[in-house]
Amino acid sequence: MTECKRIAYYAPLKPPDHPIPSGDRQMARMLFAALKRSGHDTFLASDYISYSKRHDPAIMAKRKDGALGEAERLLEHWRNEGGTPDLWFCYHPYDKSPDWLGEEICTRLDIPMVTAEPCKTGQGPNGEWLPWRTEAQRGIKLADMNIVMTDSDRDYLATFVPYDRVTRLEPFIDADLLIAEPVADDPWPRAGETSCRLLTVGMMRPGAKLQSYTVLADALSRLQDLDWALAIVGSGPAEAEIRQLFSWDHQGRVVLAGEKSPGEVLSLMEHADILAWPGCREAYGMVYLEAATRGTPAAALKTMGVPLVVADQRSGLLADPPDAAHYAGILERMIGNRALRENLGEGASHFALQERSGEQAAQKLRDIVDAVFARRRRGG
């Protein structure tokens, strides 16, 4: 039986109680819940954010000093109040959010560290992020075990971390944390009884997100003779560009519904027929698994980590990237075939709730933590 350990949980990019929703926050919350479910006394160690959008050395020095100050505060608290952790668990340390806090605490207390989703970002045109990468890698190398969810992250860690200190956890979804909320307005006002309701959920920002919107708009512009309606949930600095991408829609079938709460998004997923999100350069994309828990199949691209969360021909259809014509092809198949959508919806529900559940993730994390302490006892 697993011995209960006290685990200090930390997410330097975005803590699980951060007010702004995102896939990072969702995974931070689910890993936290999975560790609790695994039988360990897991607590949020700190809300300190080391993340920076800019690579300025002065910002790095300030963030690092802040982390060291936070470490001193925590160590003093544990000395006075008790509750010193047995293990430090860090979610998503990478170039833009090194785990200086965990590095200091694990060194001072001589306790093991486990990371989840350690990764890298682009170096910048002149290697501006390389100093930050050096800082992040030092903490990752200190970890007793690093949990990866994608092949690209495993390949990256192979360049500086021993193979036996890297393990795999498939992206998962904890349906117990997903609570739907009613939506006041119908985002598909022009949809008839037989119309196929498409739903897109994505932040409106330059880069990969805008690329996905571009593929989606191009694909749907080729399918104007089919009976569909699209609701887009999201906002951001690229909203004007995205509106322009859909300027060909003169029938009002594309509705930009603005931001919605996570609970409202779940409610919309329950009423949608297809989650239409290409997923350009997505690490994997929690939105696909969220929709799958509602029995909503996805139409996406076979790119990067998307196949990890969309089982092609089972929980949705994947098109070869980046050609919008290929994406239009799978949308056409799904829009025009209700039986196909229903079969994929059943497959999506099974995939998310049976194959990628929070309980399965908790068991995997329990095994990982047990193995870390066993190796420590052996002196490895």
> 3-class DSSP state for residue 153?
helix
Cβ atoms within 10 Å, residue 4: 11
Residue pair 374/2 in contact by the 8 Å Cβ criterion? no
Give residue-wise pLDDT tens across range 15-61.
Answer: 898 888 777 888 899 999 999 999 899 999 999 999 999 999 999 99
Sheet with 145-148: list strands edge to edge.
41-44, 6-10, 87-91, 113-116, 145-148, 166-168
User: Helices (DSSP H) in 222-313: which residue ranges?
Assistant: 239-245, 262-271, 286-293, 306-309
One CATH from 3.10.20.740, 3.40.50.2000, 1.10.287.3510, 1.10.10.10 for 6-172+357-378: 3.40.50.2000
Comparing CA positions, the residue from 186, 145, 136, 140 lying closest to residue 163 is: 145
pLDDT value of position 288: 95
Tokens of 378: 């052996």
pLDDT value of position 21: 77
CA distances from 83 to 7, 25, 114, 350 (A): 10, 26, 19, 40
β-strand 87-91 against 41-44: which pairing, if any?
unpaired
User: Helices (DSSP H) in 4-89: which residue ranges?
Assistant: 23-37, 57-81
Give the homologous superfamily in CATH for domain 177-355: Glycogen Phosphorylase B; (3.40.50.2000)
Give residue-wise pLDDT tens across range 272-302.
Answer: 999 999 999 888 888 999 999 999 999 999 9
pLDDT value of position 33: 94
Q: Same topology for domains 6-172+357-378 and 177-355, yes or no?
A: yes
Count each helix (H run) and each strand (E run) in the chain, helices first: 13, 12
Answer yes or no: is pLDDT of 380 > 80. no
**Above pLDDT 90, what percent of the chain?**
78
> 3-class DSSP state for residue 114?
strand
Residue pair 175/356 in contact by the 8 Å Cβ criterion? no
Cβ atoms within 10 Å, residue 373: 16
**Conformational region of residue 379, where left means phi above 0, alpha means psi within -120 to 50, and beta covers everything else:** left
Answer yes or no: is pLDDT of 2 > 70. no
Q: What is the pTM of this model?
A: 0.86
How far is it, in rounded angstroms, from Cα 341 to Cα 378? 52
> What per-residue string of b and e applies to 314-350 under the rule 16 or more CB within 10 Å gives b?
bbbbbbebeebebbbbbbbebbeeeeebeebbebbbb
Residue pair 204/239 in contact by the 8 Å Cβ criterion? yes
Q: DSSP letter at 330?
A: H
- Region 180-196: what's the mean pLDDT? 85
- Domain parsing of the chain, residue ranges: 6-172+357-378, 177-355
Answer yes or no: is pLDDT of 1 > 50. no
